[in-house]
Structure 1
Amino acid sequence: MSVIVDPDWLMNRLENTPENTVVVDTRFKLTDPDAGRKAYVKGHIPQAVYLDLNKDLSGKQTKHGGTHPLPDMDMFAAKVGNIGIDHDTTVVIYDQQNDMFASRLWWLLNYMGHEDVYVLDGGFDGWVEQGYDVTIEIPSLEPKDFDPEIRDNEEVDIDEVKDKLQHQSATLIDSRSQDRYLGKTEPLYKKAGHIPGAKNFFWKHVLDENGKWKKQTDLEEHFSALSKNDEIIVSCGSGVSACPNILALKSAGYENVKLYPGSFSDWISYDDNKIEIKDE
């Protein structure tokens, strides 16, 4: 089964197996960090709990490591357990539409060894468009113990990126827009461009013209320039918008796919690292 589910599927879960289903709202705006939580308070899918990109899905920023480093996994596992998730729980994640934040949580849970995790196609807006109810009620969920089973082969650090680029033993992709990749614009960081050797696959291109997730065959065509035999390292600005590309690559049958969590924001934190602005 695909990890992308529709509102009807989620409604069926909530009606028939609510005791073993946790819904997580991850709405967020990079330009307004409080907007997602405020939106959740104004109305959310029934039984949904809220997790914040900055406070819950990321760790503390340091000089290096990027602007959205991975959270401490023991602390994050405790948070996951506190909202009622263990390895037997079905988790359904949504954001406003098909944004990048639901995929970030999907990746984190997968990284911690959780199998039963899904992303709601169309997000909150898709749920509302189907005519389903929203609520302002904050659910009370029974805490559980979540024991992380970290999949270390799902991520790489900057040293591995450098080594694999040097030896051409992996393909690096940049998930940001083409203008940011080419250094024509950069709204967030002090330097513009991309990591030398990275190929551009804008994350929004895994969605169709209606903003819905593309089907497997369409994703296979989208990534056809990449070999399924190669290791693929996925980056972006800070390890968030890379996650929809990872989800899409895995849906298209790519198995050796890894996240560079620090991404471009980590790369440019080292003054000696070179930057490229031409298409590759």
Structure 2
Amino acid sequence: MSEKAVIEVAELADIIRKPDVVVLDCRYSLVDREAGARAFAEAHIPGAHYASLHRDLSGPVGRYGGRHPLPSAEQFQQFARACGIDRDTRVVVYDDNRLAFAARAWFLFHYFGHANVAVLNGGLTAWCEAGLALDTNPSAPAAPGDFVASARDDLLLDHKQIYSRLDNPPWQLIDARDAQRFAGIEEPLDPIAGHIPTALNKPWQGVTREDGRIKSVNELRNHWQDVPADERLANYCGSGVTACVNLFSLHLIGYTDALLYPGSWSDWCAHIVYPESEST
């Protein structure tokens, strides 16, 4: 398992006070958008800054693009600099929900050209279980960083690319939602139930243990062994968030060219409900 991609709580405790380390708390709730911010205000890893999914890790919502579009390079650069992140900063991200939101932050740093980012294994739960201190005071404002965001659009797919290649796709679509949503049995968030044609279902929770720790490299390889190894893997979920958990796990076992469809099922549904020919 790459030391650059995963960091254990003991390792973070050893380096947390170093000036070239910045920690981001990515806790969030899809049913209460301010729950993560409130939890952060109550207690967080010392020195951490809060990264909100809807304010910092997503861009403005439109007709297309899904519920959580990626932020622009300018928006993400401004956020990262405000957290004191420089071009050579080691960034550590964590949450308390099996990487659901920390993996989104991890992906964004990679997408914007910053490879020196790690996910805290086990998140805040593991930190607390180790008996390590929490901070209940607001984080001190950071000196502005010089982080430069340079988007790598070769890591993304959009609706047009996928739709135009459904008959003969050069990639294998991977749907990270739970089996009930994939099968169209239930759909709590989007107007249409089901999945994108040709997709395989690999629920995002399958790459971590119930305590939030990432599975071993061997376990992850076994988890992905039923997916065609000769095809590039394109990940999606409901809105491009938990798909990043699957993408992160693929990165750990060497699939560094895996793709993300950021708009995901919510964008796919929008194109069905509001066909582009009717929006012009």
Amino acid at match of 1:237: G
Q: How many Å separate the matches in 1 of 2:176 and 2:162?
A: 15
**1:228–1:253: 8 Å Cα contact kept in structure 2?**
no
Using structure 1 for the length normalisation, give the TM-score.
Answer: 0.93
**Aligned match of 2:113:** 113
1:177 aligns with 2:181: no
C-alpha distance 190-135 of structure 1, shift in aligned 2 (>3 A) = same
Three-state SS of the structure 2 residue aligned to 1:162 is helix
Could you tell me how far apart the structure 1 residues matched to 2:208 and 2:124 are? Answer: 16
What is the CA distance between 1:164 and its match in structure 2?
Answer: 3.3
Aligned ranges for residues 2-151 of structure 1 at < 5 Å? 2=3, 3-15=5-17, 18-137=18-137, 138-151=139-152
For 1:161, the equivalent position in structure 2 comes to 162
Further displaced range: 143-152 or 45-54: 143-152
Shift of 1:139: 2.3
How far is 1:31 from its partner? 0.5
- Whether the aligned pair in 2 keeps the contact of 1:97 and 1:121 (CA below 8 Å) is no
**Structure 2 counterpart of 1:71, which letter?**
P
Cα contact 1:37–1:52 (8 A) shared by 2? yes
Partner of 2:278: none
Question: Which of 41-50 and 133-142 deviates more?
Answer: 133-142
One-letter code aligned to 2:218: T
1:228-243 correspondence to structure 2 within 5 Å: 228-243=229-244
Q: Is the 8 A contact 2:162 2:169 kept in 1?
A: no
Other structure's SS at 2:96 match: coil
Distance 2:74 2:230 in 1: 33
Alpha-carbon separation, structure 2, partners of 1:255 and 1:230 = 13
Alignment of 1:220 onto 2:221: yes
Find the residue that maps to 1:64 and give its secondary structure: coil
State the superposition RMSD in angstroms: 1.6
> Residues of 1 paired with 2:147 and 2:212: CA distance?
33
Q: Deviations over 1:90-148 (max 9, x none)?
A: 00000114231000000000000101100011111111110000012212211112112
State the 4+ residue runs in structure 1 displaced beyond 3 angstroms. Answer: none
Q: Secondary structure at the match of 1:269?
A: helix
SS in 2 for 1:93: strand
Shift of 1:65: 0.8
Change (3 A) 1:7 1:109: same
Residue-pair matches, total: 272
Identity %: 37
Provide the TM-score with structure 2 as the length reference: 0.93
